[in-house]
Amino acid sequence: MDLRGAAYVVGAYEHPTRHAPDKSVALLHMECARGALEDAGLGFEDVDGYFCGVDAPGGTAVYMADYLNLNLRHVGGGELGGSGPIGFVGHAAAAIAMGKCNVALITMAGRPRAEGQRIGTERQTFTPDFPFAPWDEHFDWTISTLYANYARRHMHEFGTTSEQLAWVKVSASHHAQYNPLARLRQVFTVDDVLNSPMVSDPLHRGDCCVITDGGGALVIAKPEIARSLNRPRVKLRGFGEYNKVNNGGMIDMVHSGAAGSGPPAFAMAEVTPSDIRYASIYDNFTPMVIMQIEDLGFCEKGEGGRFVMDGNLISGVGRLPWNTDGGGMCNNHPMNRGGMTKMIEAVRQLRGEAHPKVQVGDCSIALASGPGLINGVGHFHSTAILERE
């Protein structure tokens, strides 16, 4: 389905908290929903479509819709991991195009920091009905060791270095210093990253994202409603999604799902990577940023390490302004699912509402892209291309 211009992002809201020991997850969802609707100039009574992931309380959008007292014609969602909020934008646009709803609300929230999670280093456990559990669970793997393997393979294949990985964190920190809500506002150097504790060779602590509570919400509306609102208009121009499998154990360790979700998004939008003025790219670990930059076509495969060096991702300095809120590296990674904040910052850039120190001049076309779940153990990927009208 061609979704060009089928729907607009009319509301966006990032919860200001990074630590919420005094709030329930449902309350965080509600506060994010209210913030996004107020941003759009709409109310809960205007919403007739709703999307959220299975991480929501009760594991289904239906329970959250009841909590929010939404009268709906369409409910969607499911488990797309961190890519979910990006993917749900495309799903909401499709539902609007088919007449299933007129105004769709997307929420995501959680409180892993308040619950003491240390996601990168915790042993991964799965219930026996997970199809891969009998083979994988007994190896006591962690998310950080898995992505360390991807980093090491990229180094072996293409000569990528730890210094190049560190530039991802350095670039994010140059943006986060201007974000008063960012979890980390320290400006990092390459040496700071390389001298941080080793988490899983070759990944240092500086190569890993932050863990935060909070969340965010988006409001997607049909064109007629978007044009009736007194807000800058941001329309969906292209969308793609892709499910990357482990190929029966013969895993491709140097490509992300962006290699599958990017091309259809660019084709639908009828633009190329050189047309993108700003990119929000999911940054759970530094090697994933490098792989996605390559797979989205911003540089050749194997050139990502060299591409990110010397501030090439820093707004006002480099060729590809990236994650100008500080990203998951430094700002916010609520519920360990960063797709929501990627969409929100892309909307801010297109509206001209990013911090003046990082706002991209004449930002007319932006990209939001990111993975969900775990590369090699069920990996989904979504890419959205947005345009300021």
pLDDT per position as a tens digit, 344-387: 999 999 999 999 999 999 999 999 999 998 877 789 999 999 99
How much is the average pLDDT of 31-45? 98
- Tens-digit pLDDT profile for residues 58-67: 999 999 999 9
How much is the average pLDDT of 202-222? 97
- Who wins on pLDDT, 145 or 268? 268
Tokens 């998004």 label which residue?
265
Please report whether residue 21 resides in a domain.
yes
How far is Cα of residue 63 from the mean position of the Cα atoms in its chain? 24
How much is the average pLDDT of 152-168? 98
pLDDT at 196: 97
Strand partners, 198: 204
Beta-carbon contacts of 238 under 8 Å, excluding residues fewer than 6 positions away, are 3, 4, 264, 265, 266, 267, 268, 269, 270, 271, 383, 384, 385
280 vs 303: CA distance, rounded Å: 19
pLDDT at 55: 85
pLDDT at 119: 58
How much is the average pLDDT of 267-290? 98
Average pLDDT, the chain: 94
pLDDT at 128: 57
289 vs 304: CA distance, rounded Å: 8
Range of lowest pLDDT (110-119, 187-196, 233-242, 275-284): 110-119
- DSSP strand pairing (198-200 vs 203-204): antiparallel
Please report whether residue 46 resides in a domain.
yes
Q: Which helix (H) or strand (E) holds 367?
A: strand 365-373
- For residue 234, the domain's CATH number is 3.40.47.10
For residue 74, the one-letter residue type is: H
Percent of residues, the chain, with pLDDT higher than 70 = 95
Please report whether residue 111 resides in a domain.
yes
Q: How many CA atoms lie within 13 A of 348 on its CB side?
A: 22
123 vs 129: CA distance, rounded Å: 18
Domain count, the chain: 1
Q: Is 361 exposed, middle or buried (0-12, 13-18, 19+ CB in 10 A)?
A: exposed
pLDDT at 319: 96
pLDDT at 251: 84
Which domain range does residue 73 map to?
A: 8-116+209-388
Please report whether residue 137 resides in a domain.
no
How much is the average pLDDT of 331-339? 94
Reported confidence tier of residue 247, pLDDT bands at 50, 70, 90:
confident
pLDDT at 4: 96
- Number of helices and strands in the chain (H, E): 12, 11
Please report whether residue 187 resides in a domain.
no
> Is the pLDDT at 226 greater than 60, yes or no?
yes
Reported confidence tier of residue 209, pLDDT bands at 50, 70, 90:
very high
Please report whether residue 177 resides in a domain.
no
Range of lowest pLDDT (12-26, 93-107, 249-263): 249-263
Please report whether residue 72 resides in a domain.
yes
Please report whether residue 130 resides in a domain.
no
pLDDT at 134: 65
Which of 90, 31, 6 minimizes the C-alpha distance to 216? 31
pLDDT at 378: 80
pLDDT at 164: 98
pTM as predicted = 0.96
